[in-house]
Each structure stands twice: as structure tokens, then as C-alpha cells.
Amino acid sequence: MVGARFPVKADTEVNDDDHARYWFVLVGSAPLNSLAKTIATPDGRPLGDRAFRAMSEPPRDLGGKFRCSLTFGALTPRGFERLKRFARPNRDGWAPEPNRPFVLLAD
């Protein structure tokens, strides 16, 4: 519910200082994003053309400092298409972000 601006970097550009200072919003799923952890779907099926929005532990150990990451994950073009709804606010049907740690986006 807060409009925020933050640096955008490729996963290969993230450095130790970034890990120490920031929480992450990751786009893409493992193995496409090297910072994203592999996340199992609740039904145990492969992700395929589905997508997900998930809160997770940090992409690496921060020595006990609390950090989390928000991952918008997909593996296929159709899966990334499902994530477009998060790319901009929905002015016609505004609703708060769900408080669920995992949301699977499928047909």
C-alpha cells in the first residue's frame, strides 16, 4: 500500500553490501534468478505455466539479521504473463496486498 522506488539490478549485479543493507524483491524463479530459492508448490506439481508470489527467507545467510524477500516467480512466458497484474496498481479494483506467504497464480 506504499508507493516505493528502489534500485533494480540483475541477480549477477547484487553485491555483499546489497545483501547487508536491503530486503529483496526478486523476479523470476530458480533457476532463472540465481538469488531465488527453489520453492515447492503446495500441490507438489511442477510450476509449469503457473506463477507465484511468495514471501521467503533471505537469499543468503545474513548472520542472524532478519531479512526477507518477496519473490514473483515464473519459469515460462505464460507464467510471466500472469505476473503482469503486480507490475502496476489496479486503479479499477484496488485491494490490499494479500497477507499470505504464498499465492499460486494459475487458471
Answer for the pair 47, 41: CB distance below 8 angstroms, yes or no.
Answer: yes
Binned average pLDDT, 10 residues per bin, the chain of 107 residues: 73 87 87 87 91 77 68 94 78 62 86
Give a yes or no: residue 45 inside a domain.
yes
What burial letters (b/e) apply to 79-97, b meaning 16+ CB within 10 Å?
A: bbebbeebeeeeeeeeeee
Give a yes or no: residue 4 inside a domain.
no
The whole-number pLDDT of residue 1 equals 43
The whole-number pLDDT of residue 18 equals 86
Answer for the pair 91, 46: CB distance below 8 angstroms, yes or no.
Answer: no
Give a yes or no: residue 2 inside a domain.
no
Cell of 54: 511468495
Domain that holds residue 25: 11-105
Give a yes or no: residue 91 inside a domain.
yes
The whole-number pLDDT of residue 16 equals 84
Model confidence pTM above 0.85:
no
The whole-number pLDDT of residue 68 equals 74
